């Protein structure tokens, strides 16, 4: 960013459009403003950190000191904002309320809510015209919550739309498994909020499959293990595409982020205590319905049936307890395990990314999901 001329020196007063008012988009806007560039943040949701608010019940494994951007802190300082204790761990809700929203408020009308970016292209250049493409500004197509649409001309575009809205599917080849879309209403792609009575009831005394080996999968395993101590017959079936090796549980005590390491250790303890049983080498090919139940089917033909004990390949953990007599299904998507960003410091640059006409998509899909039955 340091090589980027500011608006005054170029006479170009078109904004740099930032897609998304999450931690990265807002930090990008703070950096742009610090360099005399005019950011315009377009956020699909109704508030700053709309994606982060979706998992407000989850505590970060990063400290406040790691998730507050220095340029953002400078922008906030004149308002009297004081960073919370650098060594403390915020929840997603804390992060959004105590940092992201105040930051967006300082940016004022440079943040627009209910503004979904539906496409980005070079102005006046259709898909077939290459000539002069690089000299054209960007045109950003936006649809607002009230239904009206706008076209915004931008000198550059920073895509900070995140990955939350495009979780990785269950399918082993990175695309939805057969039947996964049809079962969507019974799958959830997030860490369950067991503080919510309805969500708790969905998992209490039932078997939940947790698919994936990222930090969110570990969080789900740890939460379900805690629930199992209170609610008999609660059990997690942990579905892994690979086997269990030295690095499966992350860095443990040696992790650069101690709280992240602790999550892996809690997941390991859940398996050791028998609250979760691992099913390894399970590459999901299909999600089938059996009555009102869902069954995961692997490419090798194994069936993860909630009513019978799942067959386990070598390396599996302890066996699961008997199955419950009733249940419903849900799946949750979780974030990939390392590498996590050290902080929310953006890697954005006003140098324009390649133009595209499709809606922004997540470059790094999530990897884990939970399923209960
Ligand atoms: C449960 C969980 C725990 C985590 N814990 C940690 C942690 O401890 N430490 C850590 O460093 N990271 C953690 N992360 C990851 C961290 O949340 C992400 O790295 C971070 O949120 C990425 O920020 P972002 O701004 O790129 O994307 P997001 O936070 O996803 O924000 C993207 C924003 O863009 C908006 N948007 C999307 N599409 C459009 C569109 N077309 N038009 C307009 N707006 C759009 C969304 O509404 C959203 O507000 C965790 C993630 C999860 C899910």
CA distance readout (Å), 139 to 109, 202, 306? 20, 45, 50
Binding site membership of 161 for ligand 1 (Cβ less than 6 Å): yes
What's the CATH superfamily of 184-334?
Answer: FAD/NAD(P)-binding domain (3.50.50.60)
Atom number, ligand 1, closest to the C-alpha of residue 58: 1
Classified as helix, coil or strand, 369 is strand
Candidates 216, 335, 338, 365: which one to mutate for ligand 1, based on the most atoms within 8 Å of Cβ?
A: 335
Position 126 scores a pLDDT of: 84
Binding site membership of 156 for ligand 1 (Cβ less than 6 Å): no
User: Can you tell me which residue has the tokens 């507050």?
Assistant: 68
| Same-fold call for 5-164+336-364 versus 184-334 | yes
Mean pLDDT of 17-24: 98
CA distance readout (Å), 364 to 160, 287, 367? 12, 23, 9
177 near 284, Cβ under 8 Å? yes
> Domain limits of the chain?
5-164+336-364, 184-334
Question: Which tens digit of pLDDT belongs to each residue from 241-292?
Answer: 999 998 899 888 889 999 999 999 999 999 999 999 999 999 999 999 888 7
Binding site membership of 81 for ligand 1 (Cβ less than 6 Å): no
CA of 51 to the centre of ligand 1 (A): 6
Question: Which tens digit of pLDDT belongs to each residue from 191-213?
Answer: 999 999 999 999 999 999 999 99
Give the chain's radius of gyration (CA, Å): 23
Share of the chain above pLDDT 90, in %: 66
Question: Which tens digit of pLDDT belongs to each residue from 321-358?
Answer: 223 322 333 333 322 223 222 222 222 222 222 333 33
Position 104 scores a pLDDT of: 98
Position 5 scores a pLDDT of: 56
Can you name the residues that pair with 180 across neighbouring β-strands? none
pLDDT of residue 361 exceeding 70, the answer is: no
- Better-predicted residue by pLDDT, 370 or 32: 32
Round the average pLDDT of the chain to a whole number and report it: 82
Position 362 scores a pLDDT of: 36
Binding site membership of 338 for ligand 1 (Cβ less than 6 Å): no
Atom number, ligand 1, closest to the C-alpha of residue 89: 8
CA of 23 to the centre of ligand 1 (A): 7
Q: What is the pTM of this model?
A: 0.82
111 near 21, Cβ under 8 Å? yes
CA of 217 to the centre of ligand 1 (A): 17
What's the CATH superfamily of 5-164+336-364?
Answer: FAD/NAD(P)-binding domain (3.50.50.60)
Binding site membership of 104 for ligand 1 (Cβ less than 6 Å): no
């Amino acid at each position: 960013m340091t090589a980027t001329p500011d608006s005054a020196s170029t006479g170009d007063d078109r904004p740099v459009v930032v897609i998304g008012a999450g931690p990265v988009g807002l930090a990008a806007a703070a950096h742009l403003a610090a360099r005399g560039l005019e950011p315009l943040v377009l956020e699909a949701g109704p508030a700053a950190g709309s994606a982060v608010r979706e998992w407000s019940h989850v505590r970060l494994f990063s400290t406040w000191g790691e998730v507050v951007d220095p340029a953002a802190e400078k922008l906030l300082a004149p308002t009297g904002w004081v960073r919370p204790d650098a060594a403390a761990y915020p929840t997603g809700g804390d992060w959004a309320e105590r940092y992201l929203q105040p930051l967006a408020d300082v940016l004022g009308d440079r943040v627009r809510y209910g503004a979904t970016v539906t496409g980005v292209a070079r102005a006046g250049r259709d898909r077939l015209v290459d000539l002069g493409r690089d000299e054209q500004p960007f045109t950003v197509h936006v649809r607002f919550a009230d239904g009206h649409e706008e076209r915004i001309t931008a000198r550059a575009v920073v895509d900070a739309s995140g990955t939350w809205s495009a979780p990785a599917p269950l399918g082993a080849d990175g695309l939805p498994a057969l039947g996964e879309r049809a079962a969507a209403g019974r799958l959830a792609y997030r860490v369950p909020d067991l503080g919510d009575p309805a969500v708790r009831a969905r998992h209490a005394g039932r078997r939940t499959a947790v698919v994936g080996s990222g930090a969110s999968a570990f969080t789900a395993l740890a939460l379900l293990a805690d629930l199992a101590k209170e609610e008999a017959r609660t059990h997690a079936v942990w579905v892994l595409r690979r086997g269990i090796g030295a690095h499966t549980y992350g860095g443990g005590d040696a992790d650069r982020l101690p709280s992240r390491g602790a999550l892996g250790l809690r997941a390991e303890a859940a398996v050791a205590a028998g609250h979760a049983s691992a099913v390894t080498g399970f590459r999901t090919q299909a999600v089938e319905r059996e009555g009102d139940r869902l069954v995961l089917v692997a490419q090798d033909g194994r069936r993860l049936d909630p009513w019978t004990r799942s067959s386990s390949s070598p390396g599996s953990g302890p066996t699961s307890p008997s199955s419950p007599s009733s249940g419903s299904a849900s799946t949750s998507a979780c974030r990939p395990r390392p590498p996590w960003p050290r902080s929310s410091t953006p890697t954005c640059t006003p140098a324009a990314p390649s133009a595209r006409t499709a809606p922004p998509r997540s470059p790094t899909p999530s990897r884990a999901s939970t399923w209960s039955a």
